[in-house]
A and B are shown apart, each in its own frame.
Chain A
Amino acid sequence: MAMKLIKSERAVVFTVAAALFAVVILSLVVISSAQRRAEGNTAVYVVRGEEMDNFLDDISHDLGRASRIAGTRAMVYAIGTVVSNGTPLENATLALEEMALNGTLNGVEVPTLENHSLSDWAERMNGAGDSQGFLMNLSAEQMNVRFAPYNGSFSFMMQAKIEDLYVNDSYGYFSFSGDLPRHLEWRTEYVSVEGLEDPLYVLNTWGHVSRLINKSVYEPSKLGDSDKMIESIQNKSYFSNQDGPCIFERLEGKLGDPEDSSRHQYYIDLAYDAMLDEGLNISKSNLSIGLETFVNVNELESRIPADAKPYIIKTNQTVVDHLYFGPYVTSKKMTNVTSLYPWFRIDLNHSTFYGVNESQLYD
Chain B
Amino acid sequence: MVRKKGFVFTMDAVLALIILITTILFASHFISTQLTSSQLVYEQLYYTASDGMEVLSESEVLYTIGDYWVTGNCSTPSDNQNCTSASNLAKNDLERIMPDNTGFKLRYGNNTIYESGTGRPAQEDADVITTSGRVASGYLVGRPPAGFVARAYVVKWEKRSTTQVFPFSPAGSGWSAKEFIDEKNFILPNDSAIVNATLYVSITYGGSKSSPEFKTLMVNGNQKKDDIDWLHVQQEDEYKSTAAFGTVDITDVVTAGENNILMRIGTPHYNSHINPGMRIEIEFETNESFYTEAEQITKRYYYDELTGEPGVWAIKPYFVPEHATNVKARLHLEVDDLTDFPNEYQQYGHYDVEVYVNSNETIYHNENPEESLVIDLDLANYTQNGTNVVASYFNCYGDEVWGTKSKTINSSSYVEVNYSASEMRRIGYGEVDITKVAQFGGNASNPKQTDFFVPPLESTIADSFVHIAQSFSYLVNVSMWGPSVDETIVFTSPSSRAVPTKNYLPPDNLEGNVTNYVKLLDFQENGSTSALNLFLPWSAIEYSFFAELNVGYGEVFDTADEAEDDALDRLEQRIIDYGLNLSEVDIANETTSFGGVPSLWGPAVFTLEVWR
Q: Which residues of A contact B (CB under 8 A)?
A: 4, 7-8, 10-11, 14-15, 18, 21-22, 25-26, 29, 32-33, 36-37, 39-40, 43-44, 46-47, 50-51, 54, 58-59, 61-62, 65-66, 68-70, 72-73, 76-77, 79-81, 83-86, 112, 115-117, 120-121, 124-125, 128, 131-132, 192, 195-197, 203, 206-208, 210, 212, 301-311
Contact = CB atoms under 8 A, between A and B. Distances in A.
B32 A33 contact: yes
A196 B9 CA distance: 98
A124 B136 CA distance: 11
Contact of A15 (B10, B133, B136): B10
Nearest to A4: B2
A62 B604 CA distance: 11
Nearest to A75: B597
Contacts of A192: 596
Interface of B: 2-3, 6, 9-10, 13-14, 17, 20-21, 24-25, 28, 31-32, 35-36, 39-40, 42-43, 46-47, 50, 57, 63, 130, 132-138, 149, 151, 153, 155-158, 287, 289-295, 426-433, 462, 546, 550-556, 590, 592, 594-600, 602-603, 605
Contacts of B287: 302
A333 to B, nearest CB: 23
B35 A196 contact: no
Nearest to A196: B594
Given A14-B13, A40-B39, A47-B46, A69 B2 contact: no
Contacts of B605: 128, 131
A21 B17 contact: yes
A50 B157 contact: no
The 5 closest A-B pairs by CB, nearest first: A86-B429, A207-B430, A310-B294, A84-B552, A80-B553
Contact of B603 (A11, A54, A128): A128
A125 to B, nearest CB: 7
Contacts of B594: 195-197, 212
Given A29-B24, A39-B36, A311-B426, 10 more contacts: A32-B28, A54-B133, A58-B135, A65-B137, A112-B555, A207-B431, A207-B550, A212-B594, A306-B289, A308-B426
Contacts, number: 207
B149 A40 contact: no
B418 to A, nearest CB: 15
Given A76-B553, A83-B151, A195-B596, A128 B135 contact: yes
A250 to B, nearest CB: 15
B43 A43 contact: yes
Contacts of B552: 80-81, 83-85
B507 to A, nearest CB: 14
Contacts of A301: 289
Nearest to B57: A61
B149 A80 contact: yes
A133 B599 CA distance: 27
Contacts of A207: 153, 429-431, 550
Contact of A208 (B132, B155, B292, B462): B155
Most chain B C-beta atoms within 10 Å of own C-beta, residue among A4, A33, A80: A80
Most chain B C-beta atoms within 10 Å of own C-beta, residue among A29, A65, A81: A65
A36 B36 contact: yes
Given A22-B20, A73-B600, A116-B599, A14 B6 contact: yes
A121 B42 contact: no
